[in-house]
Amino acid sequence: MMGDPHGHGHGHGHHPEGEPAGRLGGAVGEPAAGPFAGHQRLHGHDAAEGADTAGTPWQGREVTGSPFAGDQGEPDAAVRAALSTLAAAEVTEGGKADLQAIARAEAELMAALASARLFVAIEAVASDVEESTPGGLRREVQSDMAMPVLTAPDGRRAMPLFTGLDSLAQWRPQGRPVPVRAGDAARAAVEDACDAVLLDLGTGPQGAPAQVLRLSQIWALAQGHPWRPAHEDEVVRVALSRAIAGRPDIVAADLADGSVHAPGVTRVVLTLREGLPQEAVRELAGIVGESLAADPEVRIRVDDLAMVLRSA
């Protein structure tokens, strides 16, 4: 479905081949074995004086535990329930989807994700290789731990995220599961220029994700704001009012749900003065569309636009 599974990663750690990450040896107070022998005390570190290796006093500092301590990797029940509700709503009867049921289920899912813990599948990828034989065989000498980002043939990027260890193992058993708040994962997706998040990739029909989060939904999670469809978003409505201001040939403008065309589509309905020539109609539609596209707050709230033109 998507191509290169190794995009930009976060929290890279470099480990040359054959070199251990490090091991503390001996009992407390004894010298460490191996390459650390004879170097018990690091420069600047004095336990008696209560300072760390940078010489900063420990006094007044607090070490907090991981927010995921004791996490057994079970899926978030509210998120899984919302995914099931959304999947059921998307099953059409007679070829016609219940758009209102889908909208409600999407809102329920986004509300559940706002406080959810998810998992990313961290993988080791070669970052440095060298030729090691006369035959030109290459061996890895350094690797990075990276968060996978999938790239489609058209260049769109997507980040896989998982609701539990079961779904992660189903997609990539060798992936190292790392728990992360949904908001933090969304911010990572934004930083990696992702267009979508694939929830529980591999668990849907024919290996598809259970759900695809669109860019507007990713931004809402990243900013910690409640998500709402663009046609119900006051920021988008205000931007539309600005776009038509001072244009008497536009009698009225409104927003409507356009998901009948595709998920995430917002209809911009323009009512124009009767009798306008086609050139003027095209020009007005272009002006309004360009005005909305130039507004950064609109761009992170609207996934796609469909312009509907009517005569007064």
The last residue of a domain, from among 189, 204, 223: 223
Q: What is the mean pLDDT of residues 131-138?
A: 60
Asked if 236 and 217 sit in the same domain, the reply is no
Asked if the structure places residue 197 within a domain, the reply is yes
Predicted local distance difference test score (pLDDT) of residue 206: 78
Residues 150 and 201 in one domain: yes
- Domain limits for position 300: 230-311
Instruction: Kindly state the average pLDDT of the residues 32-57.
Output: 46
pLDDT tens-digit readout, 157-180: 999 999 999 999 999 898 899 999
Kindly state whether residues 176 and 111 are assigned to the same domain. Answer: yes
Structure tokens at 188: 């990572």
Final residue before a domain boundary, out of 158, 193, 223: 223
Residue 38 pLDDT greater than 70, yes or no: no
Q: Examine the fold and report which residue of 167, 194, 223 is the final residue of a domain before the chain moves on.
A: 223
**Pick the residue with more confidence: 33 or 164?**
164
Residue 210 sits in the same domain as residue 175: yes
Q: Give the pLDDT band of residue 25 (cuts 50, 70, 90).
A: very low
- CB distance 149 to 158 below 8 Å: yes
Which conformational region is residue 246 in: left (phi greater than 0), alpha (psi within -120 to 50 degrees), or beta?
left
In a domain, 251, yes or no: yes
Provide DSSP, 159-194: EEEBSSHHHHHHH-TTSEEEEEEHHHHHHHHHHTT-
Domain containing residue 93: CATH number: 3.40.1350.90
Same domain, 198 and 236: no
- 143: pLDDT confidence band, cut at 50, 70 and 90? low
pLDDT(33) > 50: no
Q: What per-residue confidence (pLDDT) applies to 181? A: 96
Judge whether 109 lies within some domain: yes
Q: What is the pTM of this model?
A: 0.73
